[in-house]
Chains A and B, each alone.
Chain A
Amino acid sequence: MTAPHRLRLRGGEVYDPANGVDGAVRDVCIEDGRIVAELADDAPELDVRGMVVMPGGVDIHSHIASSSCNHTRRLLPEEHAADPAAAPLLADGSAGRSGTGGTVPSTFTTGYRYAGLGYTTVFDAAVAPLMARHTHHEMDDTPCIDAGCFILMGNDDYLLRMIDAGDTARARDYVAWLLGATGGYAVKIVNPGGVEAWKTPQRNLGDLDTPLGTTQVTARKILETLTDAANGLGLPHPVHIHCNNLGLPGNAETTLASMRALAGRRAHFTHLQFHCYGAGGGWRSAARELIEYVNGHREVSVDVGQVMFGPATAITADGPVGYLLWKSSGRKWVNVDVELETGCGIVPLYYKDKAAVAALQWAIGLELFLLSDDPWRVVLSTDHPNGASFLAYPDLIQLLMDRNARDERLKTVNQKLLAGTALLDGLTREYTLGEICIITRAGPARLLGLRHKGHLGPGADADVTVYSRQPDLAAMFATPRYVFKGGALVAEEGHLRRAPAGDRLYLRPGYDDAVLPGLRRHFERHGTVRFEHYPVRDLPGRPREVA
């Protein structure tokens, strides 16, 4: 069976906030993998009357394809054994590929499960440049979704040298070269300077202005240099920042300082919930202070990094955080230092609703969503699998859309640290379907600069998710009625129908070739991989445009 090249989705309740459509009943027309304004009357059609139609989901921050993910898979055979995934039978009679689940599913299963959830575009948010080739190998085996990756630069030796020398122009050229060499889509900063410090007796940086070792480099300078480089290069997504001091009580001060350091400059702060703990000793929410800043600064965007109760796995380039989690949990722990670039820490976790800190983290995430003035800039993530699996998105959506469900759940969690959170003040807000559409697809697509995604206007990729309306919102969002990827029906009520390869989303920004001789010398002196072997070649498709 082949997918029809034309299809009219007839009479759905359409949510397309990028084009000002909020539940209007209308047709959505697909031709040759794109949305078109109209089709001839004889075009095949699918009756979706009474159903909710949205663009395919766009995940701005996940961990699905990296050497760190693969260390995690290999660390957790017990999770896989508990969640085997048989090969799905596809519409043409052929079989897909089998795999395993758990907090970090195998690649084919990842693609299938994302598609089954109505997501069609996913970014891996933390890829070590040296390991980018591995990420692309995994993405080659992750079907049904378009995928891209963010490249870790906030502790990169060459970049730190340029910052120390005050050579911001060379730093910008290096950023451009590195993105192109790795097939990356955006610049990622994790604990700026702190991961490099973790490899030395300094062990971490506690604030923005402590120098790294004997250099002039500080977290502030790293943030400023990379933010200016990304914006100066006109990258479609601004620098994607995991602040210093993740997970520590009182860290909101650092987060606010980081935002203020970049005031007026476009920047995305990721998994904000993990950076949202108030000062004054002990654990308390600082959601109000942080979201107030975000609401008032249009140049800032965030994803929430919601914690949901259940199993999770910390996968982070933030090596010192991995160490702290190991020390506090006593669970098994992987630490991998990646030469000249970054680190990796992995610890399996379980968020219990009866645990006070976990309950606080859960509440802070909800506070951030519910106190946000602008859903276009405060978008959904669980930092999969750090706060929860992406499979928890439907439950999270229910909490946001249904105050009664949220209040009932709130009663069941540990209350010890919740005093002072906005949740206990009786927040009545309920997200609308239009707002859910913004925080799960239209908003992330806009923040990522994906002009052909996150909307249903003519020319958009025909990535479309159709939901049957159900009183149980979690069930509705867990099992879309239809999911189309590039115009092809890939999933239907939880059953995979097709498993096409997705597109690769990557950039190749221009740079001054004068950066290359020094870079080559750097590789020869300090690297263990030859300069000419470093770039990833033969990526599928073509690089995306850079403004």
Chain B
Amino acid sequence: MTDAAATSGVTCLGCGLLCDDLAVSVAGGRITGVAPECTLARAWFGDGTVPAEVRVAGRPATDDAALEAATELLAGARGRLLAWLGPDLVTGAHRAVVELADRLHAVVDTATSPAAAAGILAGQRRGRAASTLGELRNRADLLLCWGTDPSARYPRLLSRYALEPEGTHVGGRAARTLVGVRVGADAGPAGADLSLALGADEELAALAVLRSAVLGQAPAELPAALVPFRELGARLLAARYVGILVDGEGGDAARRPQRAEALIALAQALQHATRATLVVLRAGGNRTGAESLLGWQTGYPFAVDFGGGHPAYLPDDRGLERLGTPRVAAALVAGDWRALPDAAVAALHRLPTVVVGPRASTAPFGPQVALDTGVAGIHEAGNAYRLDDVPLPLTPVLAGPRGAAATLEALARRVAHRLAEA
């Protein structure tokens, strides 16, 4: 890399949109600019500096010594190991971790949030009515933001993918209708053509009315607060292609199971008379990729337990929840430890741990082995998955420390060799 340079066509993992059109400027070995302007992109790339250390028991070590120590620790915990897949890794790194987990009969947990997990489980009960993001861009003449203001957590959603672009079958902003529904504290978008508001406790009833209206079965008598949703149902039916946007992360997790299923049911009901897609917005990194890879290797998208010698699905008994119990004797943290919940970080203080990922050496819980790596799409090439399951190549913009994929693959080879010898 030259001292001052700009790389175009960079894919950003700052949120699940994975915009792949960024230009990233570099000078003096640091990132100095990201265009177009996006707060999440700026935060994701930062200045691009990461530590490049290798530590065993807190002391500097060679790669070889660290990998040997990690192999010893992980193989010794076979059957009582937690492997955590961080979101800031390329798919190749995730692949190596799942192989390790399989061979070591570990439980695999991921950055799939409880709210997103609830949505996945709802999909497993009912199915999905979905699309890739380009269908929003090219077809959606009505966008319904349900308890979501995309500008905060998905800054370029409306400008790049949904509302403003000229699509193949629909014009730009003027040709589209934007409807925002505020749900409790979850705001809708600014500038909506129609804004509605609900209390959090009214949400499920409103979704039921909407679905009934779409199916032509809305009751004639409704509480006043729900009447607008019957009318909204008529507007949805009049659209050619409805895009329902909902944030799959954060919010009040307790009400998500019913909400997620009700939204799926609404999107499916719309298919009788028109077309619709429910786009579940997901946070940054390659978390969708982790779910995808687990899906093809195990059949399950998250919460996979290899303890019985084969994959088992335990969405109600996920790995991180086992930290601090006798069922977990050691942990492998793959990815930036800062994405772990606080409770997990606290529990890892009491557990022998191997950390392989960006900033591993800064982990506050005193890992037995720490191998710093680069960050996916900043220092490391590979692939990551957009929130709609579209895989994209990643272009590194900076030289960095060792790659996470290569390091974890080396660890997987050593572990396999160790187990074959045993």
A182 at interface, CB cutoff 8 A: no
* A94 adjacent to B134 (CB under 8 Å): no
User: Within the complex, what minimum Cβ distance (angstroms) separates A203 from chain B?
Assistant: 8
- Chain A residues near B133 (CB, 8 Å)? 339, 528
* A532 adjacent to B391 (CB under 8 Å): no
B372 at interface, CB cutoff 8 A: no
- Chain A residues near B240 (CB, 8 Å)? 200-201
Q: How long is the Cα–Cα vector from A157 to B138 in the complex, in angstroms?
A: 11
User: Within the complex, what minimum Cβ distance (angstroms) separates B401 from chain A?
Assistant: 22
Q: How long is the Cα–Cα vector from A173 to B393 in the complex, in angstroms?
A: 25
Q: How long is the Cα–Cα vector from A87 to B78 in the complex, in angstroms?
A: 15
Q: How long is the Cα–Cα vector from A327 to B272 in the complex, in angstroms?
A: 9
A338 at interface, CB cutoff 8 A: yes
Which candidate, A329-337, A385-393, A399-407, is the interface stretch facing chain B?
Answer: A329-337
Which candidate, A23-31, A96-104, A304-312, A372-380, is the interface stretch facing chain B?
Answer: A96-104
A133 at interface, CB cutoff 8 A: yes
Binary interface profile of A, 507-535, with partner B (CB < 8 Å = 1, else 0)? 00000000000000000011111101100
B129 at interface, CB cutoff 8 A: yes
- Chain B residues near A86 (CB, 8 Å)? 309-310
User: Within the complex, what minimum Cβ distance (angstroms) separates B175 from chain A?
Assistant: 15
Which candidate, A67-75, A114-122, A360-368, is the interface stretch facing chain B?
Answer: A67-75
A9 at interface, CB cutoff 8 A: no
A106 at interface, CB cutoff 8 A: yes
Binary interface profile of B, 186-221, with partner A (CB < 8 Å = 1, else 0)? 000000000000000000000000000000000000
B392 at interface, CB cutoff 8 A: yes
B312 at interface, CB cutoff 8 A: yes
Given A75-B127, A134-B391, CB of A340 within 8 Å of CB of B138:
yes
* A95 adjacent to B419 (CB under 8 Å): yes
Count of residues in B whose CB is under 8 Å from the partner chain: 67
Binary interface profile of B, 309-322, with partner A (CB < 8 Å = 1, else 0)? 11111000000000
Binary interface profile of B, 246-281, with partner A (CB < 8 Å = 1, else 0)? 000000000000000000000010011011010000
* B295 adjacent to A74 (CB under 8 Å): yes
* B383 adjacent to A133 (CB under 8 Å): yes
Q: How long is the Cα–Cα vector from A108 to B306 in the complex, in angstroms?
A: 15
B300 at interface, CB cutoff 8 A: yes
B182 at interface, CB cutoff 8 A: no
* B299 adjacent to A157 (CB under 8 Å): no
- Chain B residues near A338 (CB, 8 Å)? 131-132, 135
Given A70-B292, A334-B128, CB of A533 within 8 Å of CB of B11:
yes
Which candidate, B64-72, B160-168, B339-347, is the interface stretch facing chain A?
Answer: B160-168
* B135 adjacent to A73 (CB under 8 Å): no
- Chain B residues near A70 (CB, 8 Å)? 292, 295-296, 389
Which candidate, B36-44, B46-54, B95-103, B353-361, is the interface stretch facing chain A?
Answer: B95-103
B59 at interface, CB cutoff 8 A: no
- Chain B residues near A530 (CB, 8 Å)? 9, 20-21
* A98 adjacent to B306 (CB under 8 Å): yes
Which candidate, B117-125, B326-334, B403-411, is the interface stretch facing chain A?
Answer: B117-125
Who on chain B is nearest to A347 by CB? B127
Q: How long is the Cα–Cα vector from A327 to B127 in the complex, in angstroms?
A: 13
* B131 adjacent to A75 (CB under 8 Å): no
* B128 adjacent to A99 (CB under 8 Å): no
- Chain A residues near B298 (CB, 8 Å)? 80, 98-100, 106
Interface residues of B in 357-406 (CB under 8 A from A): 383, 385, 389-393
Given A70-B292, A86-B309, A333-B268, CB of A526 within 8 Å of CB of B134:
yes
Q: How long is the Cα–Cα vector from A70 to B277 in the complex, in angstroms?
A: 19
* A97 adjacent to B102 (CB under 8 Å): yes
Given A333-B127, A339-B137, A530-B20, CB of A130 within 8 Å of CB of B132:
yes
Given A74-B124, A98-B310, A332-B127, CB of A533 within 8 Å of CB of B134:
no
- Chain B residues near A141 (CB, 8 Å)? 95, 296-297
Who on chain B is nearest to A109 by CB? B299
- Chain B residues near A75 (CB, 8 Å)? 123-124, 127-128
User: Within the complex, what minimum Cβ distance (angstroms) separates A138 from chain B?
Assistant: 5
Q: How long is the Cα–Cα vector from A326 to B126 in the complex, in angstroms?
A: 11
Q: How long is the Cα–Cα vector from A323 to B269 in the complex, in angstroms?
A: 11
A77 at interface, CB cutoff 8 A: yes
Binary interface profile of B, 217-254, with partner A (CB < 8 Å = 1, else 0)? 00000000000000000000000110000000000000
Chain A CB count within 10 A is highest, among B168, B291, B419, for: B168
Who on chain A is nearest to B267 by CB? A335
Give 15 new A-B contacts, CB below 8 A, not counting A333-B127, A335-B268: A70-B296, A76-B124, A76-B299, A77-B313, A80-B313, A130-B390, A137-B391, A141-B95, A200-B275, A333-B126, A334-B123, A334-B130, A335-B127, A335-B129, A336-B130
Q: B-side interface residues toward A, CB under 8 Å? A: 9, 11, 20-21, 91, 95, 99, 102-103, 120, 123-135, 137-139, 160-161, 166-169, 240-241, 268, 271-272, 274-275, 277, 291-293, 295-301, 306, 308-313, 383, 385, 389-393, 416, 419-420
Q: A-side interface residues toward B, CB under 8 Å? A: 65, 67, 69-71, 73-77, 79-81, 84-87, 92-95, 97-100, 102, 105-108, 130-131, 133-134, 137-138, 141, 157, 198-201, 323, 326-327, 332-340, 346, 525-530, 532-533, 537
Q: 7 A-B pairs, CB-CB below 8 angstroms?
A: A74-B123, A87-B309, A100-B300, A131-B391, A200-B241, A337-B277, A528-B133
